[in-house]
Each structure stands twice: as structure tokens, then as C-alpha cells.
Structure 1
């Protein structure tokens, strides 16, 4: 009787062990897909993280490029503005320089014209004084026996003396006319060109 009970327990234990083994095998089979799923999920998560990381890196690189392009464009714009300002300043300097040179040239020409006119007026006055002096001297006779010659006018003129004085006056008037004409044709000619020769001394 006891042997039967022991055998029964042994059979029951074997059955239980077999059942337990089946349960364990089933659990292993069930756990395997879960582990694979977890690994796949981890791979998906890793891929998503890598993708997001790549997108972030791309965004950083793109932002850096955009910033560089923006700064480069800004520098180019500043350079163009600086060149435009420098060109305007250079143009203004050139205009002011040209205006100053034109003003200096105009002043120089005006001073030269005034100086030339003053010189012409002075020469004309000198010529007039010389001619007036010659015309006055033409009314006198000149000695031939003295050195230097002397001018004199007798109280009573002899016919040949009167003729000599008339000739001297005529020569002085002719010399004045020629000198005036020469002055009009050559305003800058020296005073020596306007002087006429003294009349011949009379006997």
C-alpha cells in the first residue's frame, strides 16, 4: 500500500515537473519576442535620436552658414557705403580744389590786368610829359658853341630862326602823333620806344 502511494507521488511529481518544464519553455518562448521587441524599440529610439542629432547638427551648420552669409553681406554693404562716401568726399575735394584754382587764376589774371593797366597809364603819362616837354623846348633855339647845349629865345627872331622854331614844333608834333600811334598798337612797349629824337640845334 505504501509502495503504491510512493509510486503515485513519484508519477505526480514527474507530471508536475513536466508541466513545470512546459510552462518554463512557454515562458521562454514568450519572453523571447519581448526581448526582441525591446531591442527593436531600442534600435528605433537610437535611430530617432541619431536622426534628431543629425537634424540639430544640420540646423547648427545651416545657422552658421546663414550667419556667415549675413555678416558677409553686411560687410559688403558697409564696404560699398564706405566707398560711396569716399567717392563723394573725393569728388567734393576735387570740386573745391578746382574752385580754389579757378579763383586763384581769376585773381591772378585780375591783378595782372590791373597791373598792366596801371603800367600803361603810367607810361602814357610819362610819354605825355615827355612830349609836352619836347613841344615846349621846340619853341626855343639851341646853342652850338656851349657844352651842354643851352636853350634860348631871342627877343626878336630872325627869319631863319623863326623857320627853325617852326620846324622844331612841327617835328615835335609829328613825333607825338607817331608815339601815340605806336602806344596804341603796342601798349606794353618800353618807354624808350616812345621817345623821339631831339630837334637839330639851330645856328
Structure 2
């Protein structure tokens, strides 16, 4: 157990705390939840940086880091879809979660073939993660208000948050297509054998 792995485990352990803080009715709960999520995003960067800098990369860390990221993002998106209860948020959440499952399965399959490096995390994937974490942090920080018809009242901050989420969704699809293209030769080869 090293410092980068401890930071990753803290990120996993922060998930139930995030849920509790988000739903417990106290003034500023949404801001506190957003702060927790932002801190988790920073530890995501920090644990990777420290693992490389201190030469403490490990198979356990390589496994746990993406799992921690996907868990906290998935849980945050489920909470947001429940609170915002709109297709405008449900659709990008569905795309993001579906992409994460697809890319995880693709990486696992490529690893079985000994070709994991072809679908390693790219610069585009890192930019996608920053946009996604920023959008989710902004959305968590805002408690939506509803009008008499039950529709969300769109404030400038909410428009910005939704816009950033859609940018993240576009990058999500783009990066998924990049990974699928990189794996295409192996996918086609396996298809021709069956």
C-alpha cells in the first residue's frame, strides 16, 4: 500500500459521504457535496501524478484508479438525474455511463489479447475527464428550483453547467470512438474468425 493507492481508496470511501452530504437537508449541503466531488477529482489527478513521480505505479493502482473514477462519476450522475428529473440531464448521464462501461469492457478485452496499450488513456480522455468533473461539480453545487409546472428554472449558472455537461458528453463520444478505432483491427480480426 502506497500513497497514490491510499488516495484512490479515500476517493472510493468518499462516495457514501458524498451521497449523505448531498441528501441531508442542511443549508449549503449542495455546496459541500460539490466540494467533496471536486476534492475527489483533484485526488484523481494527484494519485496519478504521485504514482509516476514517486515511481509507485502498481497493478492494484492501475485497477483501482479507473474503478474509483467510474464509481464516483456514476453515483454523482444518478443523484443529479434524480434531483433534476429532466431528459436534458438524463440523456448525457446515460451516454457517459454507457461509454464508461463500453470502454472498460474494451480495455479488458484488449488486455486479454495483450494489446492494452492500444486503448490506454489518451490526452482526449484526460480532457474529457476534466470537462466531466467540472460539469458535475457545478451541477452538484446548485439546488434546482422548479416553476409551477414542475419545470426547472434555468439560471445562467445552470445553463453553463448543462452546456459544460454537453461538451463533456461530446468529448465522451469522441474519445470512445477513438478507442474503438484503435481496437478496430482486433475487433475485425476476431469477427472474421467467428
Name the TM-score, length of structure 2 as normaliser. Answer: 0.28
Larger RCO (CA under 8 A, 6+ residues apart)? 2
Name the TM-score, length of structure 1 as normaliser. Answer: 0.27
